[in-house]
Chain A
Amino acid sequence: DSGVTQTPKHLITATGQRVTLRCSPRSGDLSVYWYQQSLDQGLQFLIQYYNGEERAKGNILERFSAQQFPDLHSELNLSSLELGDSALYFCASSRLAGGPVDEQFFGPGTRLTVL
């Protein structure tokens, strides 16, 4: 158990809908990262938040947004869902903003299925 929690574990929804994925980092960790694992794109970095602020952006679609709250939990919002958004979404957390010894610990993932 990495100490990172993600809810829900599974989510099934329809095209065009909007969903919110939630991540609670390990106690004391300030950074949260979101990754998407799909059959087409593999595992790819979406976005990082550090202490409430956006720190880095990867291949995140405009239909997707994220935020990190004062209690450091993070939410990933996916809107106007398409079939291709079906994937496993991982959250990871690290102690600092990133760096040589700032290991990322991964949560169990949320499996999103868009029908």
Chain B
Amino acid sequence: AQKVTQAQTEISVVEKEDVTLDCVYETRDTTYYLFWYKQPPSGELVFLIRRNSFDEQNEISGRYSWNFQKSTSSFNFTITASQVVDSAVYFCALSEAGSNDYKLSFGAGTTVTVRA
């Protein structure tokens, strides 16, 4: 079963628009970790954020913000005032403490295209 679902395959916006990427996860563990990674056209995976299951505080880092809601098993990511350099594939990932291996289970990714 898919543990991380990113329902949006592609999102296209015009520069300066806000864009929100949805991530829904599934786990039976009470302790788990959620991540967002960015994969720009150059191909490398860039770590953006890690959240543990006990910390539901929203987080803001510059133009990026994250909304973690355990009640809906969601960990959404918003880019405010998007820029062309934000064009990339964004992956949400889950790591479950109960599995004892902490491997990352990735969603399918959302391709964000920001047009000038």
Which A residues contact B (CB, under 8 angstroms)? 2, 33, 35, 42-45, 48, 55-56, 58, 88, 90, 97-100, 102-109, 111
Contact = CB atoms under 8 A, between A and B. Distances in A.
Contacts of A44: 106
B52 interface: yes
A58 B43 contact: no
Contact of A90 (B45, B47, B99): B45
B50 interface: yes
Given A42-B109, A100-B97, A48 B103 contact: yes
Given A98-B95, A98-B100, A98-B103, 12 more contacts: A42-B106, A42-B108, A45-B105, A56-B102, A56-B103, A97-B102, A99-B97, A100-B33, A102-B102, A105-B47, A107-B44, A109-B43
A33 B47 contact: no
A8 B63 CA distance: 35
A88 B43 contact: yes
Nearest to B101: A56
B81 interface: no
Contacts of B106: 42-44
B11 interface: no
A109 B44 contact: yes
Nearest to A101: B50
A99 B106 CA distance: 17
A9 to B, nearest CB: 9
A44 B103 CA distance: 9
A78 B6 CA distance: 30
B7 interface: no
A98 B99 CA distance: 11
Nearest to A108: B44
Interface string B44-80: 1111001010000000000000000000000000000
